[in-house]
Structure formats: structure tokens, C-alpha cells
Amino acid sequence: MGVLVHAPQLIPTTHLKSVFLAGTIDNGSSVDWQEELSQRLRAHDVLILNPRREEWDASWEQSIAHQQFKQQVEWELDGLECADYIFMYFLGKSQSPITLLELGLHARSEKIIIVCEKGFWRRGNIEVLADRYDLLLFDNFEEGVAQLITKL
């Protein structure tokens, strides 16, 4: 059975494969695709790292001086680094600037699975990056999820 960890919970050390759910959140206003994927992954022996924080407050100052904001960003950086896989989902109508940053940080790793819907404003950049670094890129959520489950 899968183990689900939300930010800012402690990321446990485990023998399980792990997946970080990177992608569109839009300060909590986007569809909660992370919950859907988490439910589907719970049938597998996997550690699921979900950055969608239940008590997120979009009014938090985006500054290293703001402790909760800093804690969130550090949790995400730690999770991305320790995960065996990073599942990135760019929703078509989103900007997803943090996910783009995370993609840039980890593009050279071999652990990224990208789902980028048609219509995403920087899809061309993602296509070129995926081509250059031989990253898995899918047009829809179902195909990306199927690939992730195959890897687990």
C-alpha cells in the first residue's frame, strides 16, 4: 500500500519507491489532480510526496523571511531531490511558473515524467527541453499516469 505525505510533513526514509507530484496548483485554485493521482497510486507500494498543502495561505509573503513560505519551498526542494520519480503535470490553462522552475532544475535527471496539455503557454519550450534531454512527455494525464505506474 502507498504512503501519502503532504507538505510540510516529515519525509520518511523508506525502502519504497517515491514519486513527487510536481505541477499546476495555482495557489490552490486549480483542479486537485494530485489527490486523484494519490488515490490511484495508493494501491502500489510507493511513497507519494504531495506538495499541495492543506493550510496554504496565498497571502503569505513570498520571502525567505516568512517562515511558513520558506518551509514550503524547502520541503518541495527536498522532496524533488529525494524522489525516485517526478511526475510533472502542466494544465493547459495555467502558467505554472514554479513547475517550470522545477523542470529546469531537474531536466538532466532521468526521473521526470511530464504531462503537458495542448494549449499550455510554454509547451514549445517543454517540447524542446524534453527532446534535448530525452524526457518522457505526454499530452494527457492518463498516458502519463500509465507510464508512471509501469515504472513503479
pLDDT score at 152: 94
> Is domain 3-51+64-151 given the CATH code 3.40.50.450 in the classification?
yes
With beta carbons less than 8 A apart as the criterion, state whether 12 and 47 touch: yes
pLDDT score at 29: 75
pLDDT score at 105: 97
> How far apart are the C-alpha atoms of 25 and 7, rounded to whole Å?
13
How far, in Å, are 48, 59, 84, 94, 120 from residue 27 at the CA level? 20, 10, 25, 11, 18
Which element (helix H / strand E) includes 5?
strand 3-6
Domain limits, the chain:
3-51+64-151
- Does residue 84 sit in helix, strand or coil? coil
- Does residue 104 sit in helix, strand or coil? helix
Non-local (6+) Cβ contacts of 141 within 8 A are 33, 89, 115
| pLDDT tens for the chain, residues 1 to 152 | 899 999 999 999 999 999 999 999 887 778 999 999 999 999 999 999 999 998 888 889 999 999 999 999 999 999 999 999 999 999 999 999 999 999 999 999 999 999 999 999 999 999 999 999 999 999 999 999 999 999 99
